[in-house]
Amino acid sequence: MRATITTQRRPSSRFLPFPTTTTMVLLVQQLVLVMMIIQPVLAWDHILTREGLEQTLTANDVVLVAFVSPDESKSAALELDWLSAVAGGTAGRDHFASIDCVASKAVCDSFAEVSSYPSIVLFQLGKPLSQYRGARRAVALQHYITRFKEPVISEIASADDLAAFKTADETVFVAFLGPEHEVLKRAFAGAATRYREEFRFGAVVDPAVAAASGVQVPSIACYRPTDDDTVVHFPSPGEPEKLDAWVQEASRPVLGELTLLNRQRLIDRGYPMVYVFSSSEPERKQLRDTLYKFAKSYHDSLTSVMVDPLEFPDLMGQLGLEPNVFPAAAVHQLSNDRIFPHPKGRPLDPKGVQKWGLDVYQGRVKPWRPAPDGVTATTTYAADVGPTKVAPTRRVSIRSIPGVKIKISGHDEL
């Protein structure tokens, strides 16, 4: 339908004048001009040739390359955060590159073996070093490239350097060690190498800096600036063999993201897993903010994570949740392999989640089981109207999920 613009009679002074046709034309022209300026910024800027990618890889010591298929949902979902990562932060635009593997398939095939899209690969000195397995957020991508631009362990020489380093990443480890602490130094270096993809590591080299900061030597501290500036100190500097386990637990955020890097580690913790699903990063951020205090209250006894369903497309079904209905949540008690989907349609807020958790703990909710083919699976809940049957068939088990191992522990807090 074509819009018709007509010139109105001069209105009463009580109302604003209606724009004339000439004014409307000028406004439309200005809007078109603005869109022409903005559009290139909001779209992929792919390297088109093998030579172009080789030049980028040669000119920069580290480059993060996204191999994408623009029309696929996961690549489309990555676009905005990828472009934000390229445009912002301290990593620099030259350390990011992308290839359209549909339009430039030969270029993709010559640089990486891509089995699914998007695949994000870190190149160092022109050669593929590792595949990115972290969160698909702009800040996470920026931090990742910075970790590989900097040394495995950054040298912190002043109090100002220390203050800046504490907030340089979402999780930062700092060692305050003297020359006599060689065994602990080696353990710290080993942890820094193993967890370089996820965290930043630094070492204070001047004892005066540690003294000015009120830190006793030897000491190792974990800083989580995005978790209310949480600081956790390694309690056993005389037992370096315990450092690795401590790094895993100290780094665990209050309400972090499930990734391919941390999934097995979080399951191995053995405590009930609380999964919260949302289809977009803005909604996941809103849910993080809403549920943060609740998750913090149960941080020691639960493992709470946000999940991007595009990264784990089968997980909702394995937890008894209806696909593509968001937001959604489920609890998996790892000690007995029981699953409790959050009731569909109920609000995911602290009060509602706490009541649901209490009902689960007190046995008012029966665990979910998959139904036979052709029958809708349901969950019995105390507030449901009428009897609701749970099919007494085989149970879904995380043991059946490819690539995931489970250790049975005795934690039944939820």
Q: What is the CATH number of the domain that holds 177?
A: 3.40.30.10
SS3 218: coil
Evaluate whether residue 39 is within a structural domain. Answer: no
Task: Assess whether 308 and 217 both reside in one domain.
Answer: no
**Order of strands, edge to edge, in the sheet holding 119-124?**
96-100, 62-68, 119-124, 127-131
Evaluate whether residue 225 is within a structural domain. Answer: yes
Evaluate whether residue 235 is within a structural domain. Answer: yes
Token readout for 30 is 């200005």
Q: What is the pLDDT of residue 211?
A: 93
Q: What is the pLDDT of residue 377?
A: 52
Nearest-CA neighbor of 276 among 341, 228, 352, 345? 341
pLDDT in single tens digits along all 414 residues of the chain: 433 333 334 344 333 343 444 443 344 344 434 333 434 445 799 999 999 999 999 999 999 999 999 999 999 999 999 999 999 867 778 999 999 999 999 999 998 888 889 999 999 999 999 999 999 999 999 999 999 999 999 999 999 999 999 999 999 999 999 999 999 999 999 999 999 999 999 999 899 999 998 999 999 999 999 999 999 999 999 999 999 999 999 999 999 999 999 999 999 999 999 999 999 999 999 999 999 999 999 999 999 999 999 999 999 999 999 999 999 999 999 999 999 999 988 899 999 998 998 899 898 999 998 876 655 555 555 444 333 233 333 334 444 444 455 444 445 555
Domain boundary among 214, 230, 250: 250
Task: Assess whether 393 and 293 both reside in one domain.
Answer: yes
d(CA 24, CA 90): 42
Q: What is the pLDDT of residue 373?
A: 63
Domain boundary among 198, 222, 250: 250
Task: Assess whether 103 and 158 both reside in one domain.
Answer: no
Task: Assess whether 227 and 353 both reside in one domain.
Answer: no
| 307 contacts 258 by C-beta, under 8 angstroms | yes
Evaluate whether residue 36 is within a structural domain. Answer: no
SS3 292: helix
Number of separate domains in the chain: 3
Task: Assess whether 266 and 367 both reside in one domain.
Answer: yes
Task: Assess whether 201 and 287 both reside in one domain.
Answer: no
Q: Look up the domain containing 89 and give its range.
A: 50-146
278 burial level (CB within 10 Å; 0-12, 13-18, 19+)? buried
Q: What is the pLDDT of residue 405?
A: 53
Task: Assess whether 130 and 160 both reside in one domain.
Answer: no
Q: What is the pLDDT of residue 402?
A: 42
| 74 contacts 117 by C-beta, under 8 angstroms | yes
Token readout for 258 is 């499930």
Task: Assess whether 73 and 96 both reside in one domain.
Answer: yes
Domain boundary among 101, 121, 146: 146
Evaluate whether residue 326 is within a structural domain. Answer: yes
Task: Assess whether 67 and 176 both reside in one domain.
Answer: no
Q: What is the pLDDT of residue 187?
A: 98
Task: Assess whether 273 and 382 both reside in one domain.
Answer: yes
Nearest-CA neighbor of 379 among 351, 361, 360? 360
Task: Assess whether 269 and 380 both reside in one domain.
Answer: yes
Q: What is the pLDDT of residue 136?
A: 95
| 46 contacts 99 by C-beta, under 8 angstroms | yes
Evaluate whether residue 30 is within a structural domain. Answer: no
Q: Mutual orientation of helices 182-194 and 243-250 as an angle, nearest 10°? A: 50
Q: Measured on CA atoms in the order 83, 84, 87, 90, is the torsion positive or negative? A: negative
Task: Assess whether 192 and 316 both reside in one domain.
Answer: no
Q: What is the pLDDT of residue 38?
A: 39
Evaluate whether residue 25 is within a structural domain. Answer: no
| 231 contacts 249 by C-beta, under 8 angstroms | no
Evaluate whether residue 407 is within a structural domain. Answer: no
Q: What is the pLDDT of residue 344?
A: 87
